[in-house]
Structure 1
Amino acid sequence: MFRSESITSRRSETVLRLLKLRKASGRRESGRFLFEGKKLFSEALDSKMPLAAVYATEENLTFAENELIRVGADSVRLFSVTDEVYMKLTDESAPQGLLCECLIPYELHTRSNIVPVSPGNRLFCAVGIQDPGNLGAIIRSAHAFGVGRLIISGCADLYNTKTVRGAMGALFRTKISVCSDITGALEALTNAGYSPFAAVLSESASPLHLLDEDPTRFYVVGSEGRGLEKEVVDACKGQVYIPMEKGSESLNAAVAASVLMFSQYIKRL
């Protein structure tokens, strides 16, 4: 049985430290991030994420204990917190009473302009996705549609609580490369035999449904508002567009990314 520690003060040292993790700077400095909810907690345990601590209200304490026992997570610290303390920690509109503190998995999520690849590794690239919910949805689709490595650049923080929530546990199982020089990374991948295709609306772009299956091809999608910068498009080997009904507005970035990923996934079945 786990022995839980109690936190009853909203001004405790632990609470003040955790509040710093709500900001990207605090997450970078500490190498830790937060997420909430029973489902994500169980997903993290099953994915062997490096959990450091769990903070649970009284009604969720037994559940947290049982889950930690189930996977033998003896090194994870368990804290019992009052409802008042939990309300100080949460940023959820509907607090779930269970907060997890996790170490950033640097081996799973790398920060380098050199993208590690292996034979048959399927790629996808997202550039400039500033909305954390959209980024989370893209991560969720990447896992669902067999993307071996997701490449992102200029996007929302991976460990923003909205990103983690939107990914629905896929963040814990998806290999991600965060690149600061996306044009350099794309050029290096092209030299390694990959074929990046920019998702753009242009006369030179190929309609998605007419492209044959090619394991070296991967798509690069930009934000809904700005799209892809010219230098990113120029660094790609080709261009692609998603056919739509006339008069239709551009697709949400996460929806467009999902369509592109699914188009390749379905051809492999």
Structure 2
Amino acid sequence: MDFEGRLSRLAGNSRRKGAIRKPGSKKGQVVGTGGQKSKGLEGKGPTPRASIRPGHPAQKRAAQKSAQQQRRSARDKPTAELVAGRNPVVECLRAAVPTTALYVQLGVDADERVTEAVRLAADRGISVLEVSKPELDRLTGGALHQGLALQMPPFDYAHPDDLLAAAKDSTEPPLLVALDGVTDPRNLGAVIRSAAAFGANGVLLPQRRSASITAVAWRTSAGTAAKIPVAIATNLTRALRQYAAEGLMIVGLDADGSVALDDLSLATDPLVVVVGSEGRGLSRLIRETCDETVSIPMSAGVESLNASVAAGVVLAEVSRRRRVAGRT
């Protein structure tokens, strides 16, 4: 067999029918492209960071973290609150709770509470809106509204520095109240009421693990939450240390306090009274920040006082001592 015959028998060189490769389908180098199609010559750019590369574990973790931050931000953002039920609505209106609208169900049976709610809202210039029962059910999340609901705006909290400024502007020695982990809004409202009654310049709350100013707290405070500034501290320990640096003494309420209330010599000094939580009392860091811890003498057989009651007792004693000191 000559050379041309042998060449025709090699793979890809056969001239038999069906064995001839179609033009343009040949693999390998192609004239004018350097062996690659033009699209393949384009660069893909730098490799993306792992946190933005779809499907990469780092990207999934980044997406989860972003979602958690968004949920946390939405949770921390103050929102309007709806108070449902005839008695709660009337109580809030009597206490002059800040309100933006009163919702009344169409065709509701107008008893004396409904009549009083509408009258109080009208006297204060609050919008009275009539809505259908399905719409009121939707607004209240299915709560037992009895045909009435009250919308409250988000509470306008002060800054911890505002409390200090208000205390320094007072003619009396500064007196502030801080709450460490008080989670019951009724206790919070009662503490605010006592703070206003005994001349405190403001109430400080931690951002986490604390009750906030809700309708329940408003009602319990009997409207005094509008008369005394309430601030939120991102870090309560840091805020108390700042107050201490400004010359205020920090006194914490504790069942095993270092001094009894009868011997509280710091009562007439610039003072911050710290009230612990209903269950565990003062946290370790807060206790270490206090200049003194004070206990309330009680009869045998009584374990402890409610947080708001204990705060009221201590604030009343501080106020009494200051009045006595002012007369001497």
Pairwise TM-score range, normalised by the shorter structure: 0.7 to 0.9
Aligned to 2:264: 211
Query: Unaligned regions of 5+ residues in structure 2, if any?
Result: 1-71, 324-328
Larger relative contact order (Cα-Cα within 8 Å, sequence gap ≥ 6) = 1
| Deviation of 1:170 (Å) | 2.5
Aligned to 1:67: 120
Of the three residues 29, 39, 42, the one matched with 2:91 is 39
Alignment RMSD = 3.1
Aligned to 2:242: 188
| Deviation of 1:197 (Å) | 0.7
Aligned to 1:7: none
Which structure has the bigger radius of gyration?
2
Q: Number of residues paired by the alignment?
A: 235
Q: Distance in 2 between matches of 1:65 and 1:55?
A: 9
| Deviation of 1:81 (Å) | 4.0
> 235-244 vs 24-33, which deviates more?
24-33
| Deviation of 1:112 (Å) | 5.0
Q: Runs of at least 4 residues of structure 1 off by over 6 A? A: 24-27, 90-93
Q: Distance in 2 between matches of 1:124 and 1:33?
A: 26
Amino acid at match of 1:123: L
3-state SS of paired residue (1:245): coil
Query: Unaligned regions of 5+ residues in structure 1, if any?
Result: 1-23
Aligned to 1:13: none
| Deviation of 1:27 (Å) | 7.6
Q: Identity over aligned residues, as a percent?
A: 26
User: Conserved in 2, the CA contact under 8 Å of 1:113 and 1:180?
Assistant: no
Q: How does 1:8-157 map to 2 (within 5 A)?
A: 28-29=76-77, 31-35=79-83, 36-44=88-96, 49=98, 51-57=99-105, 58=108, 59=110, 62-71=115-124, 73=125, 76-81=126-131, 89=140, 98-106=148-156, 109-110=157-158, 115-117=163-165, 118-119=167-168, 120=172, 121-153=174-206, 154-157=208-211
User: Conserved in 2, the CA contact under 8 Å of 1:129 and 1:156?
Assistant: yes
Query: TM (normalized to structure 2)?
Result: 0.61
Q: Which has the higher helix share?
A: 2
Aligned to 1:265: 319
Could you list the per-position Cα deviations for residues 145-178 of structure 1 after superposition, in whole angstroms to 9, with x for gaps in the alignment?
A: 2222011224433234433333332323331111
3-state SS of paired residue (1:79): strand
3-state SS of paired residue (1:138): helix
Query: TM (normalized to structure 1)?
Result: 0.72
Could you list the per-position Cα deviations for residues 15-55 of structure 1 after superposition, in whole angstroms to 9, with x for gaps in the alignment?
A: xxxxxxxxx9878546322344223214326xxx3x32111
Cα pair distance change 1:25/1:63, threshold 3 Å: farther
Could you list the per-position Cα deviations for residues 60-101 of structure 1 after superposition, in whole angstroms to 9, with x for gaps in the alignment?
A: 565445334434x2xx432124567656628987x6754321
3-state SS of paired residue (1:123): strand
